[in-house]
Amino acid sequence: MPELPDVEAFRRRIAAHVPGQPVQRVTAPDADVVRNTSVQALGRALAGRTFGHPDRHGKWLFARTDGPTVVLHFGMTGYPTWAGHGSPRHRYDRVVFVCRDGELRLNLMRKLGGVWLAGDEEDIAAITGPLGPDAREVSRGRLGELLAGRRGGIKSALMNQKVMAGVRNEVADETLWHARLHPGRKVADLTGEDLDRLHAALDHVLERSIAHGRIPRDPGWLTHAREVEQATCARCGGDIVKGTVNSRPTYWCPACQPAP
Partner DNA sequence: CGTGTTGTTCAGTT
Partner DNA sequence: TAACTGAACAACAC
Where on the chain is the footprint of DNA (CB under 7 A)?
1-3, 32, 58-59, 73, 75-76, 91-92, 109-112, 129, 149-153, 156-157, 159-162, 168-170, 187, 226, 246-249
The verdict on whether 155 is a catalytic residue reads no
Stretch (H or E) spanning 158: helix 154-159
Q: Which is closer to DNA, CB of 129 or CB of 237? A: 129
Q: Which is closer to DNA, CB of 168 or CB of 178? A: 168
The verdict on whether 2 is a catalytic residue reads yes
**Catalytic site residue from 13, 216, 248, 254:** 248
How far, in Å, CA of 147 to CA of 126, rounded?
A: 24
The verdict on whether 80 is a catalytic residue reads no
Q: Which is closer to DNA, CB of 238 or CB of 249? A: 249
- Give me the least distance between CB of 66 and DNA, in Å please: 27
DSSP string, 199-253: HHHHHHHHHHHHHHTS---STTSGGGGGTSSS-B-TTT-PBPEEEEETTEEEEE-
How far, in Å, CA of 116 to CA of 12, rounded?
A: 20
- Give me the least distance between CB of 22 and DNA, in Å please: 30
DSSP-based three-state secondary structure for 110: coil
**Catalytic site residue from 59, 94, 155, 185:** 59
Question: What secondary structure, in 3-state letters, does 72-89 show?
Answer: EECCCCEEEEEECCCCCC
The verdict on whether 130 is a catalytic residue reads no
**Catalytic site residue from 3, 8, 103, 174:** 3
Residues marked as catalytic:
2-3, 59, 248
